[in-house]
Amino acid sequence: MDQDQNAPLREDVRLLGEELGAVLREQAGEQLFDTVETIRQAAVESRSHGEMQGGRLRELLDPLDDPTLLEVARAFSQFLNLANLAEQRHRERLRRHHQRFPGDPDTDRGLRQVLAELKKANVSQDKVREVLQDLSVELVLTAHPTEVTRRTLIRKYDQMADLLAELDRPDLNDEEAENLRRHLREQILSAWSTDEIRRERPTPVDEAKWGFATIEQSLWHAVPQGMREIESELKLAGLPDLPSDWVPIRFASWMGGDRDGNPNVTHKVTRQVLTLARWMAADLYLRDVENLLADLSMHRASDELLARTGPSTEPYRLLLRAVRDRLRNTRALMEARVNGSAEPEGDIYSSGSELYEELSLIDRSLREVGLAAIAEGQLKDTLRRLNCFGITLLRLDIRQESTRHADAVDAITRYLDLGSYADWGEKVKQKFLLAELESRRPLVDKAFFDSEFCTPEVREVLETCRVIAEQGPEGLGAYVISMARTSSDVLAVMLLQKIAGVSEPMRVVPLFETLDDLDNAFDTMSALLEIPFYRERVREGQEVMIGYSDSAKDAGFLGAAWAQFRAQESLTGIFREHNIPLTLFHGRGGSISRGGSPTRMSLLSQPPGSVAGRIRVTEQGEMIRFKYGRPSVAAYNLEQYVAATLEATLLPPAEPRPEWRAQMDQLTDVSVRAYREVVQDDPALVSYLRTVTPETELSRLALGSRPARRKPGGGVETLRAIPWVFAWTQMRLMLPAWLGTGAALENGLAHAPDTLRAMSDQWPFFQTVVDMLEMVLAKSDPRVASWYEERLTDDPELQRLGKELRSRLSRTVDALGQLTGRESLLDNNPVMRWSIRVRDPYTDPLHLLQAELMDRLRHREEDPELESALMVTIAGIAAGMRNTG
């Protein structure tokens, strides 16, 4: 490929910028266009001198009145969204290049390269097929509030991306190209004329519907498309055939099930979301069956199928009409349940196996009578969708905080005059829970629910378990326990499900989040595995969730990363000893400090043996749109997960050397101390966060249904990890992603530089740490951070802390440069460097505007226009930074 493979990206950015400029002239007038262009040119000129200087920009922005500030903010924000659109389109372009030139070093490593490496390493084809057959990749869509772009605008950007794709066609004539540009300008005009800001906070049901829309519009098409591409690669490598309906990818969701700290997620919401998912699944399969009805007109059929339909000239259509009727009945029943209306009668699909049995009968018949080519068409896609999505669309996880379960059990023991469960020691709790789990008698009677002990909070926990009981296992995934610390935390949830009459209990998944919890994960799970009853319950497999967000907020990026590595390593070992399959569930976010990193990099940086053909990962907020919002990009990312999971299983990294472990212990000891001496010990930190960053203003933005804080008031410890990261990202200090790491690197370079460089060169875990640190440092900008401080505070203590933080950031950049030997950040990643550089002249004015608007709003009671402008800057900067929390 041409050395400058990113030239089309630059051309798209130029084209979109020109069309936006034309819309600005037409809609807002020449004066506003000139103002925006003057500000942009000043930002470009200032950046060309190497470091952004704010003086000239301030001179241009200060005289603007409130309405003009809003329009200027909208213009820069809109361009950044268009730049993201161009980059997403370019990923599709590069994906096609990757398919044509899989050996190109400038493209991501796909399945073809992994299969070639496995062959080179003398891994047998039978072994590869065996691992692939049992491979399990489950992606969990979550409603964490990091998607700032309204769905209505996302749809418009998708249409623009389609137009850019059409403009790429080599056979376009001038008239066709001009027509496409006209449509592109119409869409940009439509986006400009649409309010960027979501004015009402979404409900949990709204969030779930957003997840359903991602499946309907993209993943429903991407899964069969991606599987066909994976299948082609396997055939090209000469691997034995896998089952025709093989799908190693599944989807789950937290939308409508994650009640940890979100009082808006109730058992009624969970029931409604599960019903809506069933409705959507029936509707999507109905569309597939309608297409099959149109196509399967042939008369040749197997005796097995004819025994079902009787003699017919169109036996497939005869059977499919019955399938269609059952799907219609299923959809009508779910609709009635959602609306609370009378439930219609009629035969429905109660399980995915019922629908699968009928469709696979058609598949077998077609293959038996010599029509396999037809079976390989739409029917194969539908069977694969059914194996991926089931009849419930996705599996809903339930997540709740451990103390809520303990409170429910405590209410029961006090009701039964057994004493207070909360006061018992761990051994006593375990003995009680195990005795009740093995007992055949019910623990509580109906009178408990009318007693004073059954508070609204306790009732909600038990009603949630009742929903689990009535729904059955097919639409449910894991019951995740936040802040799990002891064995009794896990046993309590098992008992609560038993009390509610759950016949097929949800698997109970402890989530280890803080540094201490991660360090104690081995002891907690060891204690459980010593219990014969529990060991037998998890004989088929155990799932454990590793938390990235709260551990990083607790200990900093480096300390959390090493704790996560050690926890996974120790858990993998103990479950291997017991011969129990372990699935590690990674609670990652989009930002670096919350575990965000490219798929292959993240999987190959895990401890050897920890992947073992099974991986479960959260996909959050704006990352869902970036990775799965368009079918072709989604198909590519699904292949990446399959390839990386296969590689990490069969070609795992080597065990880290003893000296590397010792060095990591030393590094993280320094890092955690340096991080906590600022975040936990400096009395100015909370005030700085709330004064200099837009942390308090973020609550004005109607992002998600969950409150930003676990408890009202309080300090950093009460703030959720997402707004904690979001606030620092907005003002470019990016503190959660690097604080403490610089001090650790300085210490390592002073005492063991050769060891540190060997780790960076040879250890995938540490390579990932270094690469992700470099990426986030490239997005940081101490001068931009100082603008906020200069505008928003004259407190000497806050100024002292700001100066110290910027100094620490500068030293971190210097230490990283000494380690990598690169003169500038991202010298090894020109695409990322260019991406940041092209955004800076548009984000710089937004930063200055944001600081100005924060100051103005803090001195006024209420001003809707200024508030709108501030929200636009938040959304625009988030678009420019390409992540929020």
By CB atoms closer than 10 A (0-12, 13-18, 19+), residue 345 is: exposed
By CB atoms closer than 10 A (0-12, 13-18, 19+), residue 714 is: exposed
Q: Which residue among 405, 429, 553, 847 is the active-site one? A: 553
What are the φ/ψ torsions at residue 240 (nearest 5 degrees)? Answer: -60, 150
CA torsion through residues 754, 757, 762, 765, sign: positive
Pick from 703, 693, 699: nearest CA to 854: 693
What are the φ/ψ torsions at residue 248 (nearest 5 degrees)? Answer: -85, 5
Helices 557-577 and 764-779 pack at an angle, to 10 degrees, of 150
Q: Reply yes or no on whether 156 is catalytic.
A: no
Q: Which helix (H) or strand (E) holds 29?
A: none
Give the Å distances, CA to CA, from 179 to 20, 167, 182. Answer: 17, 10, 5
Give the Å distances, CA to CA, from 337 to 235, 279, 334. Answer: 46, 10, 5
Q: What is the DSSP string of 239-301?
A: PPPPPTT---EEEEE-TTTB-TT-TT--HHHHHHHHHHHHHHHHHHHHHHHHHHHHH------
**What CA–CA distance (Å, rounded) separates 849 from 72?**
9
Q: Which residue among 90, 98, 144, 779 is the active-site one? A: 144
Pick from 791, 788, 786: nearest CA to 809: 786
Give the Å distances, CA to CA, from 857 to 414, 458, 500, 724, 880. Answer: 51, 41, 50, 21, 23
Q: Reply yes or no on whether 183 is catalytic.
A: no
DSSP state of 826: T
Q: How many CA atoms lie within 13 A of 555 on its CB side?
A: 24
Q: What is the 3-state secondary structure (H, E, C) of 112-180?
A: HHHHHHHHHCCCCHHHHHHHHHHCEEEEEEECCCCCCCCHHHHHHHHHHHHHHHHHCCCCCCHHHHHHH
By CB atoms closer than 10 A (0-12, 13-18, 19+), residue 490 is: buried
**What CA–CA distance (Å, rounded) separates 595 from 605?**
11
Helices 125-134 and 631-650 pack at an angle, to 10 degrees, of 120
From the centroid of its chain, how far is CA 802? 31
- Cα dihedral 829/50/879/721 (nearest 10): 80
Find out whether 128 and 859 touch, Cβ atoms under 8 Å: no
Catalytic residues: 144, 553
